[in-house]
A and B are shown apart, each in its own frame.
Chain A
Amino acid sequence: MSLVFSFLASIGRGTLHIFEEVGNLTFFIISTIGNLFKSPFYFKEFLRSVVSIGFFSLPVIGLTALFTGGALALQIYSGGSRFNSESAVPAIVSIGMVRELGPVLCGLMIAGRVGSAIAAEIGTMKVSDQLDALVTLSTNPKQYLVIPRVAAATLVLPVLTGVGDILGIMGGFLVGTLKLDFSSQTYLNQAVQFLETADVVSGLVKGAVFGFIVATVGCYCGFRSGMGARGVGKATTQAVALSSILIIASNFVLTEIFF
């Protein structure tokens, strides 16, 4: 009987913990949005974040998009050839990259590269008293650390998504012209012809939302980090896992909205 009770108690504890985390994260997101428009705005920290999130992520985003575009072209050609639709490869690659794969891959790669780094940096600051030091130096740690990172990620991710879209289409173009015997003129014409402004806008909006998610979750996990190296490690893992799940889930919601 006691085993049943302890089993039920563990389910109850787990459920309460999930609700607590959801509540805390929601409160953190709301306070972050509120603080985005408050002064002081630490512009140097913002610029530093733009460079570290945006510029230094370009190689990762570029290579991921390029290879994914190429693989997509091969897969669509393989599937399309079963019902004589090989000619749809350029259009589907460009629409697929711009509407879906570009922003999602960009968000996930940034979650791995930047979300983890933000959580680790803030977590380490917490365990080494640097967050408390900020308070004693009359500086609000959230205003100083969270707002510049969230603002930078939200503004930079659409740019990275745009770069990823272009390189993804280029990957498809290279595979299409070098391996699948498309003429370069035909491929480019078809890739652009069926692309609409709404496709591009929806992809860029997704990028901005994913940027907001990655930075906010990274900061949240850093601030909630436990003590010691183990605590920081756990916070880093949580930041990547949580932001990846939220990116996938919000991608579905956004796709529904733009459908």
Chain B
Amino acid sequence: MSKPLIQLQEISKSFGENHVLKKLDLTINVGESVALIGGSGTGKSVALKIILGLYHPDSGHVLINGERSKPPFEGFLSQIGMLFQGGALFDSLPVWKNVAFKLLRDRKKYSVGEARKIAEEKLERVGLGSEVADLYPAELSGGMQKRAGLARAIADSPKILFFDEPTTGLDPIRAANISALIREIVDENSATALTVSHDMTCVKQIADKVHFLKGGNIAWSGTETEFEHISEGTIYHFVKGLPDPTEVES
């Protein structure tokens, strides 16, 4: 059996007195689409940023392809695409240069013309016409920025994709469109994906496997089918948006 692509082993991370992650273990295998869900402040985005080397864990190890790695994970980062919650487009660059940012860094492989052509193709792919290519991010709506961010994430057709709250801030129709698009892209590229989300509809559409984060660790794990038929426990209350009887309200 091949080694897991990403493994978090007993990862702990605190911010001051706030212990966000407590000996978190997480495994993502090649070709899997995994969703990390949980309430606000449970450390989903922190776990994602630790995988990307943007945060250093207080203790524990990150294994990439079975090997212990220390940030910056340069080789790993060259193979990934990442969609940030707010799009995180660069204000000083037009949309097409944002999308082609990685391609323009590799001038031996792509000329400016080729990079622009690919950027326009990717913009079309996410439902933005080439007419937005020369606009600046500030001229786009929030939803359009998110789609441009998605175009940037898939610009060089990466095999590993990360999505941080891909549907937050979008209306239900756009959210459904983005979720469907992400699923399509993941399947098309046979990519490995990790999605952090609050949106249960999005999770059901995107993920093969779901992990529920609570109290700094994984409280529930299961396949998408098991997730669909969940009928009890804390995760049931979370998914249904019901108050959890096991939690004492402070």
Contact = CB atoms under 8 A, between A and B. Distances in A.
B105 A132 contact: no
Nearest to A136: B82
Interface residues of A, number: 15
Interface stretch (B24-32, B48-56, B128-136, B173-181): B48-56
A30 interface: no
Interface string B128-166: 000000000000000000000000100000000010000
Contacts of B52: 132, 135-136
A136 B149 CA distance: 12
Contacts of B78: 138
Interface string B40-79: 0000000001001110000000000000000010100110
Given A135-B77, A136-B80, A138-B102, A129 B72 contact: no
B101 interface: yes
Given A129-B84, A129-B85, A135 B53 contact: yes
B88 interface: yes
Interface string A117-146: 000010011001110110111111000000
Contacts, number: 49
B86 A129 contact: yes
B90 A130 contact: yes
Interface string A138-181: 11100000000000000000000000000000000000000000
Contacts of A124: 91
Nearest to A134: B90
A138 B49 contact: no
Nearest to B102: A137
B1 to A, nearest CB: 29
A91 to B, nearest CB: 46
A34 to B, nearest CB: 16
B88 A129 contact: yes
Contacts of A137: 77, 101-102, 105, 152
A136 B86 contact: no
Contacts of B84: 129, 132-133
A246 to B, nearest CB: 27
Contacts of B53: 135
Contact of A133 (B74, B82, B105): B82
Contact of A130 (B54, B72, B88, B162): B88
Contacts of B54: 132, 135-136
Contacts of B102: 137-138
Contacts of A130: 88-91
A121 B90 CA distance: 11
Interface string A209-241: 000000000000000000000000000000000
Contacts of A128: 86, 88
Contacts of A140: 72
A132 B92 CA distance: 16
Nearest first, the 7 closest Cβ-Cβ pairs linking A and B are A129-B88, A133-B88, A136-B82, A129-B84, A138-B78, A137-B102, A138-B77
23 contacts: A48-B92, A121-B92, A125-B91, A128-B86, A128-B88, A129-B85, A129-B86, A129-B88, A130-B88, A132-B52, A132-B84, A133-B88, A135-B54, A135-B77, A136-B80, A136-B82, A137-B77, A137-B101, A137-B102, A137-B152, A138-B74, A138-B78, A138-B102
Given A130-B88, A135-B52, 4 more contacts: A124-B91, A133-B88, A136-B80, A139-B101
